[in-house]
Amino acid sequence: MVPVMSALPLVFDAPRRGKPPRHLADLTRDEARAAVAELGQPPFRADQLARHYYGGVTDPAQMTDLPAAAREALVGELLPGLLTPVRHQEADGGRTRKTLWRLHDGALVESVLMRYPGRATVCISSQAGCGMACPFCATGQQGLTRNLSAAEIIGQAVAAAAAMANGEVAGGPGRLSNVVFMGMGEPLANYPRVRKTLDALLTPAPHGLGLGQRSVTVSTVGLAPAIRRLTDEGLNVTLAVSLHAPDDELRDTLVPINTRWKVAEVIDAADAYARRTGRRYSVEYALIRDVNDQPFRADLLGRLLAGKLAHVNLIPLNPTPGSKWDASPLPAQREFVARLRAAGVPTTVRDTRGQDIDGACGQLAAADQVDGVPSVAVAPTPSMEPTVELGAEGDE
């Protein structure tokens, strides 16, 4: 039986708001050099600024390779503070840290930094709120405030890299190794800025963070034309498709974008990406008790993905305030896994890092008060991670 739910409208066009201040990360290298020249400095100062920025240096006093008389002007014009940390919350013995950021216009977004043995991953946001209206997702129920600029998105990853380098996460100094676009917002609905962010993540220092393409994951609820556009870009980043139902009848309700692009079209687009890259894509599937966890739906999903370059990442539903839904019980999870594997589909179950601080998948909504303002990514003035085993059942 398909649940009956009240639905928010889909929103593709972000509300128009004042642009953030100009930032080096929003500019091409040539544009940055031209901007520095306009300030009366040699163009190579732009490269020096980039080295400091992507190296996590924010204090002008530490930028000793810049002339003392020019530091404040260069930093003020090209490295303005776009993300102000409101608070950090920790979980998992300090190995998970959720940060609430206030943007220039008062909008609020969150990112989550997670440390694992041998790697560290940051989950970043691409929008304030989300227009995709998925009823089981806290962010989706907020509505869309606005798109983030490339510099606002990049800044979350840069801050995470600096936090790791400075030993701010339990375990001592380390290196940021992975970035996942699984925070607030639908990344492919903010395509141009996400694409620019990808360049910054993948470009070697000093003009980027120098991550490997396999270390970056772009998640989408299924904007099929944008998946095809990403395919044409020639990148080899990891693609994750938030499917959550194998049949159109249920998915129309759980993932309203399905009313535009049906399951078959979304999977066809993902298959084309896999064919070009030679890499399997991830199918994200939130297991919701008595909604989409029935054995027959596991069989449907198995038939849909059998023989494809796809991997299913099952996510026991994380609780959100006011939701009547719950995660599937462990026996149902195991049955779902077993049926998918019987169909020859690689399957794992995602770790629920940060659940107690509302930092797990589907929970990012900054749901309490900040300075008396409900922090649900609405401005105060007139808007995951690699898988782990379920018991001994995990895939490599």
Say what the alpha-carbon torsion angle 290, 296, 301, 303 is, to the nearest 10 degrees.
180
Phi-psi region of 213 (alpha: psi -120 to 50; beta: other; left: phi over 0): alpha
110 labelled catalytic: yes
Q: Distances in Å between the alpha carbon of 387 and those of 40, 90, 143, 291?
A: 50, 21, 28, 22
Bond into 20 cis (ω within 30) = no
Alpha-carbon distance of 8 to 372, in angstroms, equals: 26
Nearest to 150, CA basis, from 32, 246, 68 = 32
Which residue type, as a one-letter code, is found at position 206?
P
Q: Which of 38, 110, 265, 335 is catalytic?
A: 110
Instruction: For residue 134, indicate whether it is catalytic.
Output: no
Helix axes 68-78, 29-38, angle to 10 degrees: 130
Residue 309 near residue 272, CB atoms below 8 Å: no
Name residue, tokens 């946001």.
Answer: 125
Tokens (6 digits) for 280: 């399997």
Judging by DSSP bridges, how do beta strands 310-316 and 281-287 pair with one another? parallel
Q: Which of 123, 284, 361, 385 is catalytic?
A: 361
CB 353 within 8 A of CB 114: yes
Whether the CB-CB separation of 139 and 129 falls below 8 Å is answered with yes
Contacts of 249 (CB under 8 A, 6+ apart): 2
Active site residues: 110, 361
